[in-house]
Amino acid sequence: MHVLEREFFTVSVIAAPLPHLAELFAVDAPSAVVLAPTALAFPLQPYRSAEHDLPMVLWSPSAAPELTAFMPAVRSGDYFVTKYAHENFGLSVATGRSSVSSAEWPIAEFVSYPSHKRRRIVRAMRDDPHWEFFADGDVLPFEDTAKYSRRLIKDRFVRDDVIRYLECWGAPVRDPKFWESDEAMTFVRRTANPSFQRTATRPLN
């Protein structure tokens, strides 16, 4: 199964290659974490972390080596990556997430964080008991705004729209090589041990 065909997917794309992003994080990152190599296991990369899993992964796609793609773990609190990339490093970032329409709480969302500019968000979701549509920020040139006034809120923004918006932003997510790379990294927590002169690390789960 392709990543974009999963029951749920979430992915962020940062306008900088992974080596450059790693250099920025090496200088300015939360003091409790450090970047380290990890495996890229698509299409089976998990979203929920078990004891030995490292589901939060960053990679420069083979199809777009000028970018860094980032897949956070569900409920992991790893979204500091996009926050740092945009607010601290001044990089453009786009995020997309989508669940299938049959999910208990379906959602389709695209967020663009232009470099040093206001966020743009488009989202349709079911929030008990009703569907809600939300759009905020300056409309982007590639948006199909005519859909935003459809009678059924759930039809105003759907998975195909999320994927297309990511592509128009510059992330070729439908290209299989977008999900391939020679190198991937993750963040691990620093764990200082006074018995040793070095700093150990453990997974950021």
Taking residues 18-26, report their average pLDDT: 92
Q: What is the pLDDT of residues 28-82, one digit of tens each?
A: 876 667 888 888 877 666 666 555 555 678 999 999 999 999 987 665 556 788 8
Average pLDDT over every residue of 166-191:
89
Q: How far apart are CA 90 and CA 13, in angstroms?
A: 14
Q: What is the mean pLDDT of the chain?
A: 84
* pLDDT tens digits for range 95-129: 999 998 778 889 999 999 998 778 999 999 998 78
Find, among 91, 73, 93, 94, the residue nearest to 28 by Cα. 91
DSSP letters spanning the chain: --GGGSSEEEEEEESS-HHHHHHHHHHSS-TTEEEEE----TTS--SS--TT----EEE--TT-TTSEEEEPPTTS-TTHHHHIIIIIT---EEEEEEE-TTSSS-EEEEEEE-TTS--EEEEEEEETTEEEEEEESSPPTT--GGGGG-SSGGGTS-HHHHHHHHHHHT--TTSGGGG--S-EEEEEEEEE-TTSSSEEEEE--
How many CB atoms neighbour CB 45 within 10 A? 20
User: How many CB atoms are closer than 10 A to CB 68?
Assistant: 27
Residue 173 clears pLDDT 60, i.e. is over it = yes
Q: What is the pLDDT of residue 3?
A: 84
Each domain of the chain, given as residue ranges in start order, spans 3-203
